[in-house]
């Protein structure tokens, strides 16, 4: 059956259309908000999309534009439906700026919507597909919600069945894909720049910001990673390059496994092989490392709770999967104690591994079938490590004293988290998106979770750590939901002076912060785009225009004189709104200096000093231009 994504914010209309389209032979995914619609589109890859024209925007963008910007969004027919049946159709003019294939004023009118859909779907299916598009056009083998951490079991199943295919995970506007060959993850991509290979290499200090930008542009142009690195002047080839790619794949797959909101779907097929660079990693290793990195300990402990009095023993599968697991020396030491003669509760409490590491390892072995449980002690294991002879009883392990410097660091950071804003507590800027919030929450909560220090005596810090966890949970509940995040920002702005001449517009302030972050990276095109958004959201605020003018002037494309003229036009418009905004005159003077007009620059700087004799920036610029 053909799959159809239906997004309609009016509940009665949604239910009526869902029944109508189901009767027409479609498998309907019905949602009532644009964020969920994006998740379903990215994960479920529908054959056709039906969207209401009045859906709320997502961070300033219409959901149609976001779908079209998706890798598979160009080929899927999209039909915009209006509210003609309620007597308030907006008309075709409401969709002229959207890239839709059809507009239906009254979707409930007989003979209107369904025939239009059938025609569009037939036309789309008549176009032959190849490569990745062909893989994603097939029905998903497995799909669902990310709640409850379903991906480790799915990855193990993919490995056991030696499947080829693509795992797609989606949360809000973020979409990630993991590519599998013969059951192992071999490649990864994402719609987020922060997830990209250049960003990873930049974080690893394998290249600088300028090289990262050049590598990103080269990859976008179709170059392979080796050629892209060479084009950016980075010497990495052979085993060194392969290791970087392995580390990147493992790191990103581990992040995917820790996602707990959104949707996922797995599509079988290997048509994508000519479109992605494949690098093999131990197939099961990311499952264990991802769980340790992202999962709360209670999730893993819940799986073992029923076996606490049982005796775990290694299975034959463990020996077969040992290479795929890529366990380190510490894990192997714990595994050698899994011999069928030590109860699980004793192994976790007093065994060779720290509690969290041992618990995650036993959870992993249970998931992969590498361990079985017996109600009574067994004589021996049945795998390659069974030659070790271990005592049946383990002496209770004494908890170590937490190093004073670690305790002091925890107290200091805890004070920061508890006393700062929700953003500050997570170490985030107000422009942080839902993905950054998710990542920061996991990393910070893991650092302050008592289980992280299970081998230490932290009795004097227990209350403090619990308070931090409560604060982090509250931060996540607010900042991970767009509506709550905006309401919280409005509250923050109401309590601080941000130096605005007009009423604060939250979305404009967020766009301004995104732009200033891009300026620091010297990414002037991205900065200009963000500042343009800020200006469009609050055009009466003169403080935004200097940023837009500077980013426009510093853009790397176009002649200097042309860029200067465009920047001066922006400044001129701003001066009519705020003639005493210091930045406007300073930037205008800097542009004049660059163009060789020192007298005009000096005149503008002296004007600044007339109404602000203490302006250090104006004095410094004046010294540069010369009196």
- The answer to whether 326 and 282 have CB atoms below 8 angstroms apart is yes
Quick count: other Cβ atoms within 10 Å of Cβ 476? Answer: 19
Task: Say what the pLDDT of residue 59 is.
Answer: 65
Beta bridge partners of 111: none
Tokens representing 284 are 């099961």
Q: Mean pLDDT score of the chain, rounded to an integer?
A: 84
CATH class of 401-494: mainly alpha
Residue-wise pLDDT tens digits, 112-140:
899 999 999 888 888 888 888 888 888 88
pTM for the complete prediction?
0.64
Contact 438, 172 (CB under 8 A): no
Using the predicted structure, report yes or no on whether residue 554 has a pLDDT greater than 80: yes
CB 305 within 8 A of CB 373: no
Mean pLDDT of 210-230: 81
Q: Round to whole Å and give the CA distance between 140 and 625.
A: 65
Beta-carbon contacts of 126 under 8 Å, excluding residues fewer than 6 positions away, are none
Tell me the sheet residues that pair with 29.
5
Mean pLDDT of the region 223-235: 77
Tell how strand 26-31 and strand 165-171 pair up: unpaired
pLDDT digits (tens, 9 = 90+) for 209-218: 888 888 888 8
DSSP codes of every residue in 267-315: EE--GGGGTS------TTHHHHHHHHHHS-HHHHHHHHGGGTTSEEEE-
- The first and second tokens of residue 337, run together, are 């104690």
Domain boundaries, the chain: 2-127, 134-284, 296-397, 401-494, 509-625
Class of the CATH domain delimited by 2-127 = alpha beta
Lookup: tokens for 308:
């606490």
Answer whether residue 178 shows pLDDT above 90: yes
Name which of 279, 324, 306, 446 is nearest 363 in CA terms: 306
Mean pLDDT of 354-360: 86
Report in angstroms the alpha-carbon separations of 294 from 146, 216, 432: 14, 28, 19
**What's the token pair of residue 428?**
């985030």
Indicate the SS3 state at residue 129.
coil
**What CATH number belongs to 509-625?**
1.25.40.10
| Contact (Cβ atoms closer than 8 angstroms) between residue 44 and residue 140 | yes
pLDDT at 391: 44
């Amino acid at each position: 059956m053909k799959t159809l994504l239906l997004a309609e914010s009016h509940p009665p209309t949604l239910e009526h259309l869902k029944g109508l389209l189901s009767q027409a032979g479609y498998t309907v995914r019905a949602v009532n908000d644009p964020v969920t619609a994006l998740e379903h589109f990215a994960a479920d890859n529908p054959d056709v999309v039906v969207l209401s024209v009045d859906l709320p925007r997502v961070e300033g963008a219409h959901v149609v534009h976001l779908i079209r910007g998706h890798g598979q969004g160009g080929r899927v027919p999209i039909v915009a439906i209006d509210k003609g049946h309620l007597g308030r159709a907006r008309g075709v003019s409401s969709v002229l700026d959207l890239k839709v294939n059809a507009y239906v004023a009254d979707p409930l009118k007989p003979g209107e919507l369904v025939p239009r859909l059938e025609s569009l779907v037939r036309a789309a299916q008549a176009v032959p597909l190849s490569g990745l598009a062909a893989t994603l056009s097939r029905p998903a083998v497995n799909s669902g919600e990310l709640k409850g951490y379903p991906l480790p079991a799915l990855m193990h199943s993919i490995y056991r069945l030696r499947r080829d295919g693509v795992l797609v995970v989606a949360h809000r506007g973020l979409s990630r894909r993991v590519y599998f060959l013969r059951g192992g993850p071999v490649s990864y991509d994402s719609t987020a720049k922060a997830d990209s290979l250049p960003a990873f290499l930049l974080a690893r200090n394998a290249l600088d910001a300028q090289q990262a930008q050049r590598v990103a542009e080269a990859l976008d142009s179709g170059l392979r990673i080796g050629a892209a690195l060479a084009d950016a002047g980075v010497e990495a080839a052979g085993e060194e390059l392969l290791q970087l790619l392995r580390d990147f794949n493992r790191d990103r797959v581990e992040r995917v496994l820790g996602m707990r909101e959104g949707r996922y779907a797995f599509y079988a097929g290997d048509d994508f092989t000519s479109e992605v660079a494949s690098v093999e990693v131990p197939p099961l290793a990311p499952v264990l490392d991802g769980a340790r990195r992202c999962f709360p300990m209670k999730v893993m402990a819940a799986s073992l709770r029923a076996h606490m009095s049982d005796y775990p023993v290694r299975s034959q599968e463990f020996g077969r999967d040992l290479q795929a697991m890529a366990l380190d020396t510490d894990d192997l030491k714990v595994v050698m104690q899994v011999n069928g003669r030590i109860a699980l509760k004793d192994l976790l409490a007093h065994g060779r591994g720290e509690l969290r590491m041992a618990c995650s390892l036993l959870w992993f072995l249970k998931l992969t079938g590498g361990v079985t449980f017996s109600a009574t002690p067994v004589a021996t294991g049945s795998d390659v490590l069974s030659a070790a002879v271990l005592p049946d009883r383990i002496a209770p392990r004494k908890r170590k004293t937490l190093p004073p410097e670690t305790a002091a660091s925890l107290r200091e950071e805890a004070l920061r988290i508890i006393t700062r804003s929700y953003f500050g507590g997570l170490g985030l800027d107000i422009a942080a998106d839902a993905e950054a919030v998710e990542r920061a929450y996991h990393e910070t909560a893991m650092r302050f979770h008592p289980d992280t220090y299970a081998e230490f005596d932290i009795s004097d810090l227990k209350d403090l750590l619990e308070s931090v966890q409560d604060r982090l949970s509250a931060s996540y509940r607010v900042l991970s939901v767009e509506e709550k995040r905006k309401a919280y920002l409005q509250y923050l702005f109401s309590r601080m002076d941000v130096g605005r001449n007009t009423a604060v517009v939250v979305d404009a302030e967020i766009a301004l912060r995104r732009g200033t972050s891009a300026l620091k990276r010297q990414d002037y095109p991205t900065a200009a785009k963000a500042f343009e958004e800020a200006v469009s959201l609050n055009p009466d605020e003169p403080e935004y225009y200097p940023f837009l003018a500077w980013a426009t002037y510093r853009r790397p494309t176009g002649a200097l004189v042309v860029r200067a003229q465009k920047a001066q036009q922006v400044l001129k418009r701003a001066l009519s709104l705020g003639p005493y905004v210091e930045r406007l005159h300073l930037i205008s003077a800097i542009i004049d200096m660059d163009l060789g007009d020192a007298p005009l620059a000096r005149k503008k700087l002296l004007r600044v000093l007339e109404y602000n004799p203490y302006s250090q920036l104006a004095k410094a610029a004046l010294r540069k231009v010369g009196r």
